[in-house]
Structure formats: C-alpha cells, structure tokens
Amino acid sequence: MNTQEIINAMAEPPHKEETKPILSRAQRRQMERIESDAKARYHAIADQFIKAFTEAIDPESEEIVQLMKKYDAQWRIYCKSKRLTDKAFPLVKEYCESVIKQYFEEKSIAEQSIQHE
C-alpha cells in the first residue's frame, strides 16, 4: 500500500456491523404467535389443495389450475390481512406447483416402467 491508499483507508468510516434490533419479550411472543398462526393457516390451505387434488377426477384438467389460483388467492389475502412479509406471498403457489410437478413426474415414471415391461 502506498501512502495515499493508507490515508484513504483511514478516512473511510469503519463498517458498521448489522445488528438485529433488540426486541422485548412481549414483542418476541407476539411475533411467535403470528408465525404460529401463519404456519397453521398455510398448512390448512395446503391440506385443502391436496385433498381437492387427490379427489379430482382428472388431475390434468383446468379445474386444478383454478383450484391452485383459488388457494393462492386465499393465502395472499391472509398474508395482506396479517401484514406478513413479501417472502410469504408465493409460498402456497410454489407448493401447489411442486405437488402438480411431482404428480406428472411420478406419472411419467410409471408410464416408462409400463412401456419397458
């Protein structure tokens, strides 16, 4: 390092370490309750989708897409009403898409095994 680089380094303010805000016990408990309620609601919606998906006559129909949109909308309304973070919004849609994707993967594997026999 030359002299100018040393001077510049000394002139820069030290980097502040990001610290989490200190929360009171009541605030932590409130956040835990919100998280617990959100998880319960998420699981309830996911269970409703799974039940509807497994009971569907044709899992490849447009009906499944409409169900996914319906449950995603319910979840988004819940997230907005409870002021959850933006990270929570796509969770149900991602879950529904993964269930549908898994169904098609298992179906293609089953079809391939039948063809090989």
pLDDT tier, 110 (very low <50, low <70, confident <90, very high otherwise): confident
* 16 in any annotated domain: no
Looking at the chain, the whole-number percentage of residues with pLDDT higher than 90 is: 47
* 78 in any annotated domain: yes
When divided into structural domains, the chain yields a total of 1
* 72 in any annotated domain: yes
* 34 in any annotated domain: yes
What mean pLDDT do residues 78-105 have? 92
Taking only Cα atoms into account, the Rg of the chain, rounded to an integer number of angstroms, comes to: 24
Residue appearing with tokens 């200190």? 22
* 87 in any annotated domain: yes
Nearest C-alpha neighbor of 78 from the set 52, 32, 42, 43: 42
Say if residues 36 and 49 touch (Cβ distance below 8 Å): no
What mean pLDDT do residues 50-73 have? 89
* 12 in any annotated domain: no
Q: For residue 66, what are the CA distances in angstroms to 39, 49, 69, 72, 88?
A: 23, 11, 5, 10, 21
pLDDT tier, 60 (very low <50, low <70, confident <90, very high otherwise): confident
Give residue 101's domain range. Answer: 22-116
Which pTM value belongs to this model? Answer: 0.71
96-107 pLDDT per residue, tens:
999 989 988 888
Is residue 59 over pLDDT 70? yes
Distance between alpha carbon 70 and the CA centroid of its chain, in Å? 16
58 secondary structure, DSSP code: -
* 88 in any annotated domain: yes
Expressed in percent and rounded to 5, the helix, strand and coil fractions of the chain are 75, 0, 25
* 92 in any annotated domain: yes
Mean pLDDT of the chain: 84
